[in-house]
A and B are shown apart, each in its own frame.
Chain A
Amino acid sequence: MILGIDTSLGTAVAAIARDGEVLADEQSANPLGHAEVIGDLLRRAATAAPAPSHVAIGMGPGPFTGLRVGIATARAYALGRGIPVVPVPSHDGVALGVLLADALTGADTPRFAVVTDARRREFAYSVYDGLDDDGLPVRIADAALSPRDDLDARLAEAGAVRYDATSVSAAMIALVAARALDAGRTLAEAEPLYLRSPDVVAAHAPKRVS
């Protein structure tokens, strides 16, 4: 059993069996309020899957404050259970969902970009092209930021159609992790995909008051 947690876009917690069967799929539609809802979602999923072997974490990209809630919760849960975490790029979960849905209908999925809001008039996007032999989405361009107005031109250049994600499935995050584990592959670093430095400027001289 693998527990999946993603708070890059809403709050989602799921549990799957190692063969991919979904045992629990909990989510909150509220794009905010991650800290408020994650405990109850986690408890429900953990009740359905009481002995997970791994915790898959969506590492973003996504709005930082919410993203961190899921990562902090997932790491602490794994620590408490004494099981390892499996970091997964959140866009990989979206991409696997798109590719599996098309595979079910027999549709041929063109090269596509998973696009999510990155605030500050920017989008985050990653480009995918089909599934590989491990059943994982082939990520041909890692997550990057683009000004909103430039995105379509960039995607045209990359030959990718645009897929705007409105949610990330924690079950798909868990399934990506299961397939990565089966293949012995690591898909993401242990740290969040912030893509942006903290937006601060060094202290300037104090303003005059007289």
Chain B
Amino acid sequence: MVLMDAPLVLGIETSCDETGIGIVRGRQLLSNTIASSMDEHARYGGVVPEVAARAHLEALQPSIDAALAEAGVALSDIDAVAVTSGPGLAGALMVGVGAAKGLAVALDKPLYAVNHLVGHIAADILDADAGELEYPTVALLVSGGHTSLLLVRDLTSDVELLGETMDDAAGEAFDKVARLLKLPYPGGPEIDRAAADGDPTAIRFPRGLSRASDMASHRYDFSFSGLKTAVARWVEQHEAAGEPVPVADVAASFREAVVDVLVTKALDACERFGVPRLLLGGGVIANKRLRDVALERAAAAGVAVRIPPLRLCTDNGAMIAALAAELIASGCRPSTLAFGADSTLPVTEIQVAEDPDATAPGAALGPTAVRVST
């Protein structure tokens, strides 16, 4: 009999432009297979939903095959299927939802529909080298699609949204400013390259929602559209005056403004809630300056920072499988088959459509089923 504190789970993630298939056995990562359609979006300067959705449909089956081969398991070995229900691009999500349902019905296995953002947190538990994830922890998730600050009391049962972006995601701001500076897509690595020789203090760009008057209702929210406009205005004024635009300084100063506001708000949350732990996740964590500033300032504030391996920070199916494995280990019942894609799924909904009539796969184990927190 399979011990359900280490279920073999196949996770499907299609919320944006990465087709992710992950296979885990409990907290052990067996495969993290990712097919990206990023190159197809490059000439449009951003993710085009229809292009992404078409690419998911093409990539799904080869990715599942590749993941199974890497993990050295057969579909018939799988204990459960997991899928991202949201948030994300609706048309893209639906491809994954359809595939997950087809697979679950074919294998007659339980299906877990889960939250993409909580999946980013779950990525951390696949890091075999890191110690146990302690609760509560503040989590900062930054990518091209989202910028969220969360208070995680329990991965499978209690995630609170402290704040999120009111307009652009941080990654989107990088893409848009890169275009302003005539740099290619995706903007993150390009801005980083351009900023290497720049002075981050050269230009004081605004920190969105950071004024005293913002603290009452937007203390943990983010806004990057004003920053983007400020950069655009600064560049236009220099061009109008016939002066060369110091791209390195603009890039470094812009990046500093983004990093500063992200780290400041995250550490403010740690202090206010008395939580000396900060978990970073999302594709923008690949930005070295963000990691360096977060580590340096967190150390000064006595906050321990956890950063999952970068290949688990970008969107992937392994984190979706990992979250489902934790749900199973916690005794959660599977989802019904009647859920859809929810492009604005709130982070508080860790699992979607839990079936009240189903039995939990780990139920036979009773009290021995392992919970995430103690």
Contact = CB atoms under 8 A, between A and B. Distances in A.
Interface stretch (A36-44, A87-95, A150-158): A36-44
A202 B340 contact: no
B73 to A, nearest CB: 14
B359 interface: no
A35 B97 contact: yes
Contacts of B53: 64-65, 68
A203 B91 contact: no
Interface stretch (B25-33, B38-46, B159-167, B361-369): B38-46
A73 B237 CA distance: 53
B179 A206 contact: yes
A80 B107 contact: yes
A199 interface: yes
Nearest to B240: A210
A72 interface: yes
Given A64-B53, A76-B60, A43 B105 contact: yes
A35 B98 contact: yes
A111 interface: no
Nearest to B55: A198
A163 interface: no
Contacts of B111: 39
Given A33-B340, A76-B106, A209-B233, A200 B50 contact: yes
Nearest to A203: B45
Main SS at interface, chain A = helix
Interface in A54-80: 64-65, 68-80
B94 A80 contact: no
A113 to B, nearest CB: 27
B295 to A, nearest CB: 33
Q: How large is the interface on A (under 10, 10 to 19, 20 to 34, 35 or more residues)?
A: 35 or more
Q: Of A64, A77, A80, A201, which is in contact with the most chain B CB atoms at under 10 Å from its CB?
A: A80
Interface in A119-164: none
Contacts of B60: 72, 75-76
A198 B106 contact: no
A68 B94 CA distance: 8
A70 B98 contact: yes
Contacts of B43: 202-203
B254 to A, nearest CB: 14
Interface residues of B, number: 48
A142 to B, nearest CB: 20
Contacts of B229: 209
B340 to A, nearest CB: 4
A80 B337 contact: no
Interface string B176-208: 100110000100000000000000000000000
Interface in B55-109: 56-58, 60-61, 64, 75, 90-91, 93-107
A46 interface: yes
A208 interface: yes
A82 B43 CA distance: 38
A38 B75 contact: no
B279 interface: no
B232 interface: yes
A42 B101 contact: yes
Given A69-B98, A198-B50, A76 B103 contact: yes
Contacts of A71: 57, 98
A200 to B, nearest CB: 5
Contacts of B232: 206, 208-210
Q: Of A73, A191, A194, which is in contact with the most chain B CB atoms at under 10 Å from its CB?
A: A73
Contacts of A38: 98, 101
Given A76-B60, A80-B106, A68 B340 contact: no
A210 B236 contact: yes
Nearest to A85: B61
B338 interface: yes
A70 to B, nearest CB: 7
A33 B339 CA distance: 10
B44 A200 contact: yes
B211 interface: no
Contacts of A36: 338-340
B251 to A, nearest CB: 15
A68 B75 contact: no
Contacts of A10: none
Contacts of A42: 101-102, 105, 337
Given A38-B98, A76-B98, A209-B236, A64 B105 contact: no
14 contacts: A35-B93, A39-B104, A39-B338, A68-B57, A68-B95, A73-B98, A78-B102, A79-B102, A80-B107, A82-B75, A192-B57, A200-B50, A206-B180, A210-B236
Given A77-B106, A79-B102, A203-B43, 17 more contacts: A35-B98, A35-B340, A39-B105, A39-B337, A65-B94, A71-B57, A73-B102, A75-B61, A76-B102, A77-B103, A79-B103, A80-B102, A198-B50, A202-B45, A203-B45, A209-B233, A209-B236
